[in-house]
Every structure is written in C-alpha cells, then in structure tokens.
Chain A
Amino acid sequence: MLALLGAMALVLVAGAPWVLPAAAGGTNLESPRDVEVYIVDDSFILKWNRGSESLSNVTFSVDYQIPEMDDWTELPGCQYITSTQCDFSSLQLNVYDELKLRIRAEKGNNTSPWYEVDSFIPFHKAQIGPPEVHLEAEDKAIIINISPPGTKDGVMWAMDSSSFIYNLVIWKNSSPAEERTETVYPTDKIYKLSPETTYCLKVKARLRMQRKVGLYSPVYCINTTVENKLPPPENIQIDGNNQNYILKWDYKYENLTFQAQWLHAYLKKIPGKHADKWKQIPDCENVKTTQCVFPQSVFSRGIYFIRVQASNGNSTSLWSEEKKFDTEIQTIILPPVINLKPVNDSLRVYIGAPKESENKSVDEDYPLIYEIIFWENTSNIQNKIVEKKTDFTFRNLKPLTVYCVRARALIHYEKWNKSSGFSDTVCEKTKPGNTSKTLLIIAVICAVLLSIPVVVYVVKVVLRCVKYVFFPSSKPPSAVDECFSEHLLKNLLLSTSAEQIERCFIIENTNAIAAVEETNDVDEDYKKYNSQTSQDSGNYSNEEDNSGSGISEELLLQETL
C-alpha cells in the first residue's frame, strides 16, 4: 500500500512538468520544431518548422533574454509572423554575452508552449562569411587586397579585424585540377604565375588558433598582363657583416640602376592599403650594382619586408618579391670551443663559448643546442648527436684509443635554422683499461713498502724495551757509576752524619735518573732536576715526595749488585 502510494507520488512529480506547460498554453497547438539559429557575420536568422499541423493562420512569436534582463523581452520584428524564419540582425546585441531565445506558435487565442532554444554565445555560434577580394594583375603576379568578412561597421568581427588570416586557392582557368593553396595577408601578392593567362581564385578567412574557418568567397578570375620588358630582380638575400647589412639580388640584364624599399612587417597584419608606407633604404637608391650596403643602424630590431626594383631610365620593372627580413636572424653564431678530458674509459666533453663574441651576438634569450660529431681517429664512421648540455660524457669507449670530436652550435628555436660553422677538431686519447685496478695494486705496494721501515723500527723499540725489563744489564750506566759509586756508598754508611754531603747533579739524556739530594741546610734552595726518558718504565716519577723513594730504590739496586 505504502509502496503504491510512493509510486503514485513519483509519477505525479515526474508528470508535473509535462502537465503544467500544457495547462499554461493551449492544448491544441504544438510548439515549433527544428528550431535553429544561423549566424553568419552580422546576420542573425532564426529558422524553424511548423508543428505537425500545417494550418494557416498560425503565427509565431519569439522572445529573447540577455544577462542584464530579468525577464523575457519580445524580439522586435519577430512577433506574430507567418513565415518560418526571422531575421533579428538589427538588434544591437553584445555578441559576447549569452543569449536566450524562445518561440511559440499562436492561433487566435490559443498558444503553443514555449520552445526554448539552448542558451548560446553569438560569437561562438557565428560562422565566418566570405571575404571581399580586389585583384590587380601584373605580368607574373597578382596583387590581392582582401577586406575582412562582415560589414565595415559590423560588430561580430570588430575585435578580430587584424586577427584574420586567409587561405587562397588559385588555378589556371584552363586546368582547374592543378590548384595551389597559399596563406596570404590581407594585402599580398601571388607570384610565379605565367603572363597572359587567366587565373581564377577563391579566398576564405580563418581565425588563427580558434576553431573558426570561414566560407569561401565566390570565384574571381583575372588575366595576367603581357610580359614586362624589364623583369623584376630576383633572389634577394640579406647578410649581416660587422656593422652593415649587405643586400644582394640577381638580375638578368646589365647597365641598370636599382632601388630598394622597406616596410614594417606588422603593417601587413592590418587590413587596408599600405602602398604609401614603403620607405627608401638609404644607400640603396640608384645603385648600379646588384647589391648595396647600408649600416645596421637603419633598422632597429624588428621584422621588415624588402623589395627591389630595376630601372633603365625610361621604364622601371615591377617590384621584386617581398623578402621577409628579421633582424634577429641576421646574428652570426660563432663556432664553440671544445675541451676533452679522458676519464677512465670515458671521455668528458666541455663545450665552451667562442673566444671572441661580437657585439651583436645571440641574445641569451635564444638557447643554443649543439650538434656533436665524434669518431675514432682510425675509423671513418662518424657518430652525430645533438646535445643541449655543455658538459657531458661519452662512455664505454675503448682504452688507449684516440677519439676526435667537433661540434657546431644551432639555434634551438622553431622560427629559423641557423647554425654556426664547425669548431676545430679536438682529439684525445682515452686512458688505459683497468686503470682503477692497476692503481689499487700500485697503491697497495707503495703502502707496503713504506710501512716496512716503520714496522722494523717499532719492533726494534719493543724488543729493546722487553730486553730492558726482563733482561737488564748488570752494569749501571757509566755516568752514574762515576758519580754514585763513592758518594752513595759513603752516604749509606754514614747516613746519620750530615756534614759531608755533596750535592751531585747528573743530567744525562738517555739513561739518567736525576739524583736529588736534600741538605740539612734549610736556607739553601734546592733544585731538582728531574728527567725521565721513555726507557724508564715509570718507576721513577718527577715528584718530590717520590724522589726520595726513587733514590732509595736505586740504592737498593746498587746494593744487590
């Protein structure tokens, strides 16, 4: 019973959302179906299909809501319309804010339930429309001028006007299958064409790194002109050299003058004509040779385009291809300096900076990597490795073999492949094999050799000591003998009389024991001289109170002998 009630409650709760809207609107009319928003550039169109009833007198109304609004607002131009689409481009919306739309059908007093379109951001939903293209033909090139998609005052791409890049597809009218695709700037030129030919092209815009690709423009066709008498210069090269740049080009004919111009590369990114922004390169006006030299100070750090034109006084050639010129790339990289150090069975390689680096050396910002070629001197096989570190080791090499190394620096950077020349070849011989073992053996032998005299000495000392203790000699030392022999005997015998006491000081380095005698004369200072050597086994101490006993022991010894 309870379960049944629970189930019924569940059904009611689940059913409520279904029930309520039907109660709000009419029960007959169905909401429009297949509602879609189509946004191309600044045109906003809502399209839908009628419900299953294909009745006349059914009108539709659309409401919209943007974040600033609390409630739905009627969409102007889309109220009670009979058609199944509505254009609301005139509504000045913020294309980056979320937009909500809802639509319903009406017939008389009946209204269908509202159908809500999932909220969306117009910018995300928008499709890039076809761009507008203007063409101008030369003999072997076509100048193109592309206006960004959308209208000039359009809102949709207002923030992206300089972010578009364009994909161009071009083909000869006579052979449509052979197409060429190129990525072009808004103002650009297509080169390498044949004169007096009809070319057709189409362009689409793209937002770099965003998931938006536009629609293709309509196809435009144009004829290239008759070949010009004076061809444009070709093969422009720029090289840096100390304080100057050298601009070189090729030209078929002789006895002509040339001039060169430059343009900031960033201008190409901005749509619009930049024909007037080209500037003359000083020292490259009316030059008679196919090269000109100008100081590096002319170009501050940046990216430029350079073009060259020939002239024979009467007429001028067309401009050459525009050569992109990045001042950063012109830096010269000097070859590195290599140091080799043999370590056991390896060879340690140190790559150092070149000795003299020019003022305009590569910024620390652009890291270098090194291409290292190394080979055994006797063989022809060369190993090539690429290494980022400047300190590394070649391991597991053959001992006592000569290996050679040379290297060059490369700019580790996507943009360009610039490398230095190769460094000098450095060769080094590896150390003999098992050197560690050999060293160990040598060390042990040395140790042994060194220790022998030490051991001998120690043994000698010990033996002497032992001999002294256990096998003492029967004679007293000679010095003591002289001193003690008479005086001490006299003392023993005449110990009570104190008059004739002679003080006897014996100081001897090796075998002495100091004799200290006290006199009865209290006024006199008595000095003690105590000396002990290591050979005395400590029976005799330095202290005064013991000295007496020390002497008595000696006397005892004397007596026993």
Chain B
Amino acid sequence: MALPVSVLLALVMLCSSPACPLGCDLPLSHGNQEAFTLLSQMERISIRSCLKDRADFRFPQMLVDGHQLEKTQAAAVVHETLQQIFRLFSTSGSPAAWDDTLLDQFLVGLYQQLDDLETCLGKETKVQQSPLGSENSRLAVKRYFHRISLYLKEKEYSACAWEVVSVEIRRCFLFMNKLTGKLSK
C-alpha cells in the first residue's frame, strides 16, 4: 500500500515541476464567459421570488483556493466540473420554461470545451494515469454536484429550485475562470 502511494506522490511531484508542463493552450475562459452569459439569459423567474429555496451546497474549498492547485489537479477539477454541469443540464428534469435554443447553445458550448480539454489532456494521461491528488479533487467536485442533484430531486425539479441551481452554477463558472487561467500558462 505504501509503495504505490509513494510512487503516485512522486508522480504528482514530478508533474508539478516545470519539467512536466501541461501543453494546453486553450481558450477556455472564452467559453466560460459565454456559458455564464447564456445562463443569465435563460433566467425565467427572478431569484428574488425564490429566496426561500436558497440552500448552501458547500461549494468545494479547492475551487475557491484555486491558485493552490497543481496543474494536473486544476485540469481534473475543470474537466470534472464541466462534465457535471453538462450532465446536470442535459438529463431530463430541466424546466420546460427554459428557452430551448439557449439551452442548446449552452450545451453546445460545454461540449466544445470538454472536447477541447479532453483532446488536449488525453495526451497527458497516456504518460501517467491520473495521480491521487486529481482523484481526490474530482471526488470533491462530484460530492458537490451530488448535493445539488439531491436538492433538485427533493424540490421535485421546481422552477425556483432550478433558478437557485442556475445561480450556483454561475458561481462555478466564475471560479473556473481563475483555474483555466492557470491552465493556459
């Protein structure tokens, strides 16, 4: 048990050093901005009428402290977050009131970002399987979205619940912007 862990740690250390840079030259922040705007445009009910439905989803601390993440971890967090947002808005339960065209555009944008990120990072993971740090980071993101999914289920996918979630996701994009800035260096 100890040996594989130390090997993984070594890999994490190795890939934090300049010797192992992530060659991703991606215009991700562009996509984040668009997605943010689309979400704002999709708003149907003012959040002010949904104040009673507010909830604390316990936004993962690592997204807030984004600058402390290593590059591989940051990439994993961004990838996982984008995947989760894509899943959240593409599976059934999205409110009928939302504009289909805007929703389509939103999903298209997310898909593009994911495609770009996967193409770029796919080459990296051939070298080493995702190190332990990335796995834990992904888990934190999954837990966060799990809480959001449970909340929606509990509120029976009401329009207000969706607006609350929409606001929360916009917050995600803001923080991801910081992380993607780190990735493209």
Q: Taking A302-B112, A412-B25 as contacts, is the C-beta distance between A270 and B83 under 8 angstroms? A: no
Confirm or deny: B166 has a beta carbon within 8 angstroms of a beta carbon on chain A: no
Q: Do B139 and A123 touch (CB < 8 A)?
A: yes
Q: Do B108 and A161 touch (CB < 8 A)?
A: no
Confirm or deny: B104 has a beta carbon within 8 angstroms of a beta carbon on chain A: yes
Could you say which residues of chain A place their CB within 8 Å of the CB of B118? 208-209
Confirm or deny: B46 has a beta carbon within 8 angstroms of a beta carbon on chain A: no
Confirm or deny: A90 has a beta carbon within 8 angstroms of a beta carbon on chain B: no
Confirm or deny: A210 has a beta carbon within 8 angstroms of a beta carbon on chain B: yes
Q: Do A266 and B135 touch (CB < 8 A)?
A: no
| C-alpha gap A171/B1 in the complex (Å) | 39
Chain B 102-148 interface residues, beta-carbon cutoff 8 Å to A: 104-105, 107-112, 115-116, 118-123, 125, 129-130, 135, 138-139, 142-143, 145-146
Chain A contact residues: over half helix, strand or loop, or mixed? loop
Q: Taking A211-B135, A365-B27 as contacts, is the C-beta distance between A266 and B107 under 8 angstroms? A: yes
Q: Which of A96, A121, A209, A303 contacts B112 (CB 8 A)?
A: A303
Chain A 351-410 interface residues, beta-carbon cutoff 8 Å to B: 363, 365-367
Q: Taking A303-B115, A414-B120 as contacts, is the C-beta distance between A209 and B130 under 8 angstroms? A: yes
Q: Which of A121, A264, A269, A367 contacts B139 (CB 8 A)?
A: A121
Q: Do B149 and A162 touch (CB < 8 A)?
A: no
Confirm or deny: B90 has a beta carbon within 8 angstroms of a beta carbon on chain A: yes
Could you say which residues of chain A place their CB within 8 Å of the CB of B146? 94, 96, 158-159
Q: Which of B110, B139, B143 contacts A266 (CB 8 A)?
A: B110
Q: How far is the CB of A242 from chain B (nearest CB, A)?
A: 24
| Total count of chain B residues near the partner, CB < 8 A | 38
Q: Which of B86, B108, B111, B135 contacts A210 (CB 8 A)?
A: B135
Q: Do B76 and A209 touch (CB < 8 A)?
A: yes
Q: How far is the CB of A500 from chain B (nearest CB, A)?
A: 103
Confirm or deny: A257 has a beta carbon within 8 angstroms of a beta carbon on chain B: no
Could you say which residues of chain B place their CB within 8 Å of the CB of A302? 105, 108-109, 111-112
Q: How far is the CB of A364 from chain B (nearest CB, A)?
A: 9
Q: Do A365 and B30 touch (CB < 8 A)?
A: yes
Could you say which residues of chain B place their CB within 8 Å of the CB of A413? 25
| Total count of chain A residues near the partner, CB < 8 A | 33
Q: How far is the CB of A336 from chain B (nearest CB, A)?
A: 19
Q: How far is the CB of A350 from chain B (nearest CB, A)?
A: 23
Question: How does the 8 Å CB contact mask read for A102-131 relative to B, with 1 for contact and 0 for none?
Answer: 000000000000000000010110000000
Confirm or deny: A289 has a beta carbon within 8 angstroms of a beta carbon on chain B: no
Q: Do B87 and A162 touch (CB < 8 A)?
A: yes
Chain B 1-53 interface residues, beta-carbon cutoff 8 Å to A: 25, 27, 30
| C-alpha gap A45/B26 in the complex (Å) | 44
| C-alpha gap A365/B180 in the complex (Å) | 14
Interface CB pairs A-B, < 8 A, 15: A96-B143, A121-B139, A159-B145, A160-B87, A162-B86, A211-B130, A264-B107, A264-B108, A266-B86, A266-B107, A270-B91, A302-B109, A303-B115, A414-B119, A415-B116
B residues near A, CB below 8 A?
25, 27, 30, 76, 79, 83-84, 86-87, 90-91, 104-105, 107-112, 115-116, 118-123, 125, 129-130, 135, 138-139, 142-143, 145-146, 149
Extra contacts, 17 of them, besides A163-B83, A265-B111, A270-B90 (Cβ < 8 A), are A96-B142, A97-B143, A124-B139, A158-B146, A162-B86, A264-B107, A269-B90, A270-B91, A301-B108, A302-B111, A302-B112, A303-B108, A367-B25, A412-B25, A413-B25, A414-B119, A414-B120
Q: Which 10 A-B pairs have the closest CB atoms?
A: A365-B27, A266-B111, A302-B108, A96-B143, A162-B87, A211-B129, A270-B90, A266-B107, A159-B142, A163-B83
